[in-house]
Amino acid sequence: MILKRNGLFVLLISLLFWTCTFISLDAVAEKLVQDKIQYHTNLWSRLQNGFALGLPPDNKIIHRIGTSYSQNPESFNRIVANSEPYLFYIVEELERRGMPMEIALIPVIESTYNPLIKSNSQTAGLWQFQPETGRILGLVQNVWHDDRRDIIASTQAALDYLQYLYRKFDNWKLAIAAYNLGEGAVSKALSRNNHKGRPGNFYDLNLPIDAKHYVYKLLAVKDIILNSKKYGVKIRPIANRPYFDQIKIHEPIDISLVTRLANISEVEFNALNPAYNRYVIKVSDAAPRTLLLPKTNKEIFLKNLETYQDPRVSWQIYRVRKSESINEIADRHFTTVKQLKTINGIARHKNVTLGQKILVPHVVAENQAENIALKKKQLQNYQANVYIVKKGDTLYEIAKRHGTTVNQIKSWNDSDDNLSIGQKLMIVKS
C-alpha cells in the first residue's frame, strides 16, 4: 500500500514536472519569437544574421562592384530609403520559409526597391517579372491592376519561384542565376559541365557574363551591408517592426476615397499599393483585393469606412463605340473632355478610338433620373418640334438642317449615334 502510494506520488510529481516543462518550453519558444524582433532593433542587423551565401574565391570582383556602389553613397541610401516600407515583410517571409536573407537584396538589383519603376523590357514591380512569367506564376494583369507590382502577390510569387529553382538545382547561387537568366539556360550549362566531367557549382559553370555579374552584384550589396565601414558607406537604420497592415477589400472603392478615409497622401498609397492602373479598386465576389495601409492608419481607415454612407465608387470602364468622339462621351457622362483626357492619360490633341477602354464617371441610376427630369423641366420653357427620321438621314444632316448640333439632339433625346427609320426626335427651338 505504501509502495502504491509512493508510486502514485512519484507519478503525480512526474506529471507535474513534465507539465511545467512543456509550459516552460512553450513560453521559451514564444519568447524566442519576440526576442527575434526585440533583439534586432535595426532591421539590417536581423538581415545580416540570416545571410548564408559565401563570397567567391576571388573577392576582387565583389570589391570592385561594391566600390561602384560606394562611390555614390547618396544613390545607395536612396535605395535603402525605398526599401523601408517593404523590407520587414520580405525578411519575415524569408525567415518563415527558411530562405537565405540575401534574397531580400534581389529587389535592390532588379528595381532599386521601386515597385513603380519603368522598364523598357516590359518587366514590372519590385521583383521585375516579365508579363508571361507573371501569368505563369498566377499574377493577374488586366486593365484594373497588375499584380506584378502588387507587394504581397509579387513577393509570394518571387519566393515561390526561387524555392522551386532551389529544389531543381540544389544550390542558391544557381537558383538566383536562373531567376535572372532562366532555368533552361542554367540547365543547359549544367548538362555541358556534366558531359565534360566538370563540377556543377556556380563558379565553374560557363554562364553568360551578365548572369554571373547578377549574382556577384547581389553578393557585393551583401558585402556593403556587412562591411559598410570598409566601403565608407553609412547605411541609414530601418526599424525592425512592420511598416504596413493588410486589409481585405470586398467591395469596389475609389482610391481617392481610401486616401481620404485613411488620412494618407496619394503618394503613400501608391507606394504601398502600386498595382492599380485606374482610379478604382475593382473587386469581384470571387477575388477580394488586399489593401496595404501604414500600420498607424489602419484603424483610422476602418473607423471612417464604417461610418461612411455615400457611394464608394464614382468611376467605371467604358468601351468607345463606333464614330464616337470624346466630346460625346464627356457629355453623356456629365463631365468634361479635359477631365477624361487627364484621368485616362490621353494626349491633348488625341481622340479616342473604336473599342478603346476608358475610365468615365459612374452615373448612378438616381442621378440619371434626376438629370432626365431636369432636362424635361428645362424643355418646357422652349418650343419643341418632332422630327421623324427618314431613310438616309444622319444626325449631322438633321442637326445642320435645324441649326443645332449633334450633341444637342442626343442630349434632348437621351440617345446615341444610331438612327432608325421612323424614329421620332425632339428638336428644340428657343
Grid cell digits, residue 85: 516600407
User: Is 183 a known active-site residue?
Assistant: no
Write down the residue that cell numbers 481622340 correspond to.
351
Q: Which residues pair with 383 in a beta bridge?
A: 429
Can you tell me the distance from the alpha carbon of 280 to that of 302, in angstroms, rounded to the nearest whole number? 18
Can you tell me the distance from the alpha carbon of 264 to that of 141, in angstroms, rounded to the nearest whole number? 26
How far does Cα 392 stand from its chain's mean position? 52
- Note whether 206 and 177 are within 8 A (CB): no
3-state secondary structure the chain: CHHHHHHHHHHHHHHHHHHHHHHHHHHHHHHHHHHHHHHCCEHHHHHHHCCCCCCCCCCHHHHHHHHHHHCCHHHHHHHHHHHHHHHHHHHHHHHHHCCCHHHHHHHHHHHCCCCCCCCCCCCECCCCECHHHHHHCCCCECCCEECCCCHHHHHHHHHHHHHHHHHHHCCHHHHHHHHHHCHHHHHHHHHHHHHHCCCCCHHHCCCCHHHHHHHHHHHHHHHHHHCHHHHCCCCCCCECCCCEEEEEECCCEEHHHHHHHHCCCHHHHHHHCCCECCCEECCECCECEEEEEEHHHHHHHHHHHHHCCCCCCCEEEEECCCCCCHHHHHHHCCCCHHHHHHHHCCCCCCCCCCCCEEEEECCCHHHHHHHHHHHHHHHCCCEEEEEECCCCCCHHHHHHHCCCCHHHHHHHHCCCCCCCCCCEEEEEEC
Residue 352, classified by CB atoms within 10 Å of its CB into exposed (0-12), middle (13-18) or buried (19+), is buried
- Note whether 244 and 301 are within 8 A (CB): no
Amino acid present at 94: L
- Annotated catalytic residue within 30, 74, 93, 110: 110
Grid cell digits, residue 430: 428657343
Catalytic annotation, residues: 110
